[in-house]
Amino acid sequence: MRIILTGDSFITRRTAHDDPAVNELHDYFTKADIRFTNLEVTTHDHQGYPAPVSGGTWAMAPPNVLDDLLQYGFTIMNIANNHTLDYLHDGLLATEKELTARDIPYAGAGRTLTDANSPRYVETKAGRAAFIGVTSTYSSGWEASDANRYVSGRPGVNFLRSDAKHVVTNEQFQVLKDVASATSINSDQELLVKEGFELGGDGDEVTVGNIRFTTSENVKGASRVREPHKADMKRLIASVNEAKRQADVVVVSIHSHEMTGTAKDQPADFIQQAAKALIDAGADCIVGHGPHILRGIDIYKGKPIFYSLGNFIFQNDSVTHLPKAFFDKYGLAEEATIADALDARSHGGTKGLIANDDVWTSVVVDMTWENDQWTQISLRPIDLGKDKPRYQMGFPTLTNDQEVINRIGRLSEPFGTKINKDGEVVC
């Protein structure tokens, strides 16, 4: 079984008719049995209302961009990410309707949590593959939920939370307690606990806002440790266990912006733990995306973990509609245009994602499986046109850029993964 994996497809424009770059990728992709991407936009004709908080850009694209993704040859998509509910439930349901109308399987979101967490299958002559989608990066309230005997479920994303433990010295702990007491920062929360609307925390902890701190005698300095939420992992592991009995290959797609410290190219501690736990449960491959740049590759127990494949298509600065909240954020007048708003965010193209060189180059993974093991993993560099005007940026072209291979090689070294100059994973 041959599988193509790509990162984020933040597509907001139509491809040009008979574009040679599209045709080249189509011809390459369709040699594989399965072709995957992360759909990071909602696709609908203004259904739904803009959410109070977006994933950074209210991501709405015309539904016919899905036809262009089909032209590339994609056969399965993840839709769990930090843009899934940019237009709330109606936007999600409209996107699902457009995907279903085109017979595109998708994972990671749905009308209930069971829908969102369920494996999606792709049938090929080489075998059956299962895909499970989940996101650790999303806005509060976007979580899907299941029905009970009293009320219906709620549409949303399949979510992975993290439990953070902030450990400080005894001296720092006392300062935090004093600050919390003097400012009454926790008074609302304390009342909710007292009246039974919230559960109380550990007596050995102090909370500042919604951040919990603890201490111990042996602590020499402050630190933060995050772990994947146990209930979420139980749900995801159950889905992997089901998929493993129903498919030849199981792929889990994880959308995660979280990082180690301020190093955007380093995956968060809890994501690394979650990825390995899912492989322990039976997953064959973890494909990550989210930070819009590459992260390293780990081979854990013989199974690949791609912590981020960066972008496949990235047109964050080509949206055609934005809500008033976006304009207000940047202090723009009522008569300001979309181009004005995008210029304000990027300081005229000098700040943010549009100015980050690493955003505009990435790789496509070409992977072959035989008898439950990968036999070849090849990385093909792509370029998304950083030097073009922003209204032309964002579509991929296959390249032979050795620096891209070198970069992902450097990022993979700490995991013990070696990549040769031809972009082949050798161990």
Question: What pLDDT digit, counting tens, does each position of 221-273 carry?
Answer: 778 889 999 999 999 999 999 999 999 999 999 999 999 999 999 999 999 99
The pLDDT assigned to 204 comes to: 75
Q: Is the dihedral of CA 94, 95, 97, 102 positive or negative?
A: positive
47 versus 187: which is more confidently predicted? Answer: 47
pLDDT: which is higher, 198 or 345: 345
Percent of the chain with pLDDT over 90: 84
pLDDT at 203: 60
pTM for this model (two decimals): 0.94
Quick one: pLDDT at residue 180?
A: 84
pLDDT of residue 8: 98
Domain spans of the chain, in order of start: 2-148+229-321+356-415, 163-226
Confidence of residue 208 (pLDDT cuts 50, 70, 90): confident
In this predicted model, what pLDDT tens digit does every residue of 109-167 receive, in sequence order? 999 999 999 999 999 999 999 999 999 999 999 999 999 999 999 999 999 999 998 88
Q: With the CA atoms of 138, 142, 144 and 145 taken in that order, what torsion angle do they form, in degrees rounded to the nearest 10?
A: 120
Please say whether the beta carbons of 270 and 283 come within 8 A. no
Q: What is the mean pLDDT of residues 367-380?
A: 95
Q: Which amino acid is at 2?
A: R
pLDDT at 186 over 90: no
Residue 348, amino acid: G
Look at residue 200 and tell me whether its pLDDT is greater than 80. Answer: no
Instruction: Please say whether the beta carbons of 155 and 107 come within 8 A.
Output: no
The span from the first CA to the last CA of the chain, in angstroms, equals: 20
Question: Which residues fall within 8 angstroms of residue 97, CB to CB, at 6 or more apart?
Answer: 44
Of the candidate ranges 14-18, 95-99, 159-163, 323-327, the one whose mean pLDDT is the lowest? 14-18
Query: What's the CATH fold of domain 2-148+229-321+356-415?
Result: Purple Acid Phosphatase; chain A, domain 2 (3.60.21)
Average pLDDT score over the chain: 95
